[in-house]
């Protein structure tokens, strides 16, 4: 539909001319005065549609001196587009737009500062005003990363920090004792009871075993291992002597020793009565028993563990 301009005649019109004028009026109203430019007869406060943008039609209101954009319609996508100039408030400048939105600099919004702009590439300000680059959003370390303690680009939650502390307070393969009947789940240790475990589940402990002469049993020889059995009755731990072997098992034994004792002998003799003769006389016997069910030194009992 073509844009129509309406003229007010200064003298009476013929019937045909009047009909033509009315048709132009109705067509102009029906098209919202649409066209590539503002019609010359648009009045103050009148709304018209600017179609110069092709498929982007812009609805404007004439103030008497200028056209102010109200909104746009994309005829290709059939979508409504709100004007974002100056906050979409219709204000002539940014200060008036903030006032219209009830925003106060320094209280509700931060004034623009090039040194604190967070750009799309992920820049953050340094103390000297320079910008740190290549920073994406912070990520949290996984359980494995917290325990490995090698990644210096991840953040640590309090729980992950606790895991890392427990992990490194004792080295894999270290033998210790726990004052309790079982090991808490937050302590990375296994009870030394001869149990069998998966090599994949405890890779650090298995690696220590392979690299340090063996502190574990080979398990099935393929996928498992066994921990030392330090809970066997009558087996006590001792410090390794100079030149000794780590983990060496020694059976029970009494140190070689001797005792001094006396013996009463009766020498051979000839009796003075009856003509009898005598020889040497000896005797033997067993002393009474004393002590308990085992030979041991003084001790206290704790739960033996090996850290992984």
**pLDDT, tens digit, for every residue of 87-105?**
566 566 777 777 777 777 7
Domain assignments of the chain as residue spans, ordered by start: 15-88, 104-132, 170-241+300-307
pLDDT for position 121 = 44
pLDDT tier for residue 1 given thresholds of 50, 70 and 90: very low
pLDDT for position 255 = 81
pLDDT digits (tens, 9 = 90+) for 189-242: 999 999 999 999 999 899 989 988 778 999 999 999 999 998 887 777 777 888
pLDDT tier for residue 306 given thresholds of 50, 70 and 90: very high
What is the pTM for the complete model shown? 0.42
> What one-character DSSP code corresponds to residue 84?
-
**Any idea which of 221-230, 285-294, 295-304 has the lowest mean pLDDT?**
285-294
* Between 117 and 121, the higher pLDDT residue: 117
* Between 276 and 191, the higher pLDDT residue: 191
Among 17-26, 185-194, 295-304, which range has the highest average pLDDT?
185-194
Helix (H, G, I), strand (E, B) or coil at 225: strand
């Amino acid at each position: 539909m073509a844009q129509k301009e309406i003229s007010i005649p200064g003298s009476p019109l013929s019937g045909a001319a009047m009909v033509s004028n009315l048709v132009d009026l109705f067509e102009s109203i029906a098209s919202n005065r649409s066209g590539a430019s503002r019609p010359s007869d648009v009045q103050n406060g009148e709304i018209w549609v600017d179609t110069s943008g092709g498929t982007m039609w812009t609805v404007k209101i004439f103030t008497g001196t200028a056209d102010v954009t109200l909104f746009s319609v994309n005829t290709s996508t059939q979508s409504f587009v709100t004007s974002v100039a100056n906050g979409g408030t219709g204000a002539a400048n940014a200060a008036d737009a903030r006032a219209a939105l009830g925003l106060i600099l320094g209280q509700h919004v931060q004034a623009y500062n090039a040194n604190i702009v967070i750009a799309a590439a992920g820049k953050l300000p340094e103390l000297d005003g320079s910008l740190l680059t290549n920073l994406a959003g912070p990520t949290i370390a996984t359980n494995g990363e917290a325990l490995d303690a090698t990644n210096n680009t991840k953040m640590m939650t309090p729980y992950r920090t606790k895991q890392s502390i427990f992990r490194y307070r004792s080295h894999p393969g270290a033998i210790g004792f726990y004052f309790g009947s079982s090991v808490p789940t937050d302590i990375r240790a296994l009870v030394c009871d001869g149990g069998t475990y998966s090599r994949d589940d405890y890779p650090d402990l298995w690696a220590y075993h392979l690299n340090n002469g063996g502190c574990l049993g080979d398990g099935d020889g393929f996928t498992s291992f066994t921990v030392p059995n330090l809970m066997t009755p009558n087996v006590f731990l001792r410090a390794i002597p100079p030149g000794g072997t780590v983990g060496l098992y020694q059976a029970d034994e009494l140190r070689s020793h001797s005792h001094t004792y006396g013996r009463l002998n009766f020498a051979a003799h000839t009796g003075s009565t009856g003509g009898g003769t005598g020889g040497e006389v000896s005797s033997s016997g067993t002393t009474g028993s004393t002590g308990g069910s085992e030979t041991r030194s003084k001790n206290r009992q704790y739960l033996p563990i090996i850290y992984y």
